[in-house]
Structure 1
C-alpha cells in the first residue's frame, strides 16, 4: 500500500523460499547544511518474525535510486534478493518514484554528483 511519504509491503507466506515479511518505509525531505537537501528513509518491520529498523539518507541527486537501497536493507534483514518488497507492485513503485522526485524538485536531466553515489551506499 502506498500513500505519499509511506510504503507498506506484506507478503503471502505460502511462496516457497520467501519468508513472511511485513515492511514499512517512511520518507521525508531533510535539509542538512553540509550536504544540502536529502531524502531521509526509515524502514522497519518484521521478516520471519524478527523485528528490524533501519534509517538512511540519500542525496537529492541520487534519491531516484531508492529502490536499490530499500532492497539492500531488506536483504540485509532476511528477505531474499528475488523477493524485494519495492518492485512487487509496479504502479506503487511509479507513484513513489514520482512522489520522491516531486518532493525533491528533481527534473529529468538534472546532473548527478558521482561522489554522492558512494556516500549513499550505491
Structure 2
C-alpha cells in the first residue's frame, strides 16, 4: 500500500518466507526548490523481530533507499530474504516517482559516487 510519504508491505509467514509487516515513512528537508535530504522512518516487524530505524539520505542517493533498508534489516537481525523487498514494484514504483518529484530530481542529474558507495 502506498500514499505519498508512506509505504506498507506485508506478508504472512509461510514455510518458504518469514512473515513481515514493514512501514516506511518519508519526507524531504531543505529548500523547497531543491530539497537536500530524504528522511526515512522504517518500522514494523519481521518474523516477530521489531524493526525501528530512522535514517536520512542525501538527495542524489536517496532513490537507493531499498539498499539501505536491506542493510538495516540485516543489521537488526531480521531474517528476511532480500529479494522479497525488491519484488514489490507495485508498492515501490509510485514511491520512487513521488520521492523523485519531492526532491525535484531530473534525469541525468549527476550523483556523488563517493557518497553513493558510502551511503547507498
Q: 1:106 aligns to what SS in structure 2?
A: coil
- Counterpart-to-counterpart distance in 2, 1:114 and 1:40: 20
Residue 111 (1) aligns with residue 110 (2) = yes
1:48-98 Cα offsets, whole Å, 9 max, x none, are 21212001111111112112112222333313333433x232122211110
Give 5+ residue unaligned stretches, structure 1.
none
Q: Residues of 2 paired with 1:15 and 1:110: CA distance?
A: 43
The count of residues paired between Structure 1 and Structure 2 equals 116
More off after superposition, 20-29 vs 72-81: 72-81
**Structure 2 CA distance for aligned equivalents of residues 25 and 98 of structure 1:** 15
2:14 equivalent in structure 1:
14
Report if aligned partners of 2:51, 2:73 keep a CA contact under 8 Å in 1.
Answer: no
Are the aligned partners of 1:29 and 1:39 in contact in 2 as well (CA < 8 Å)?
yes
Contact 2:70 2:82 in 1 (8 A): no
**Poorly superposed stretches of 4+, deviation over 4 Å:** none
Determine if contact 1:75/1:81 at 8 Å carries over to the other structure. Answer: no
Deviation at 1:119, TM superposition (A): 4.6
The 5 A counterparts of 1:1-122 are 1-16=1-16, 18-31=17-30, 37-77=36-76, 78-85=78-85, 87-120=86-119, 122=120
User: In the alignment, is the contact (CA less than 8 A) between 2:42 and 2:53 conserved in 1?
Assistant: yes
- TM-score calculated relative to the size of structure 2: 0.84
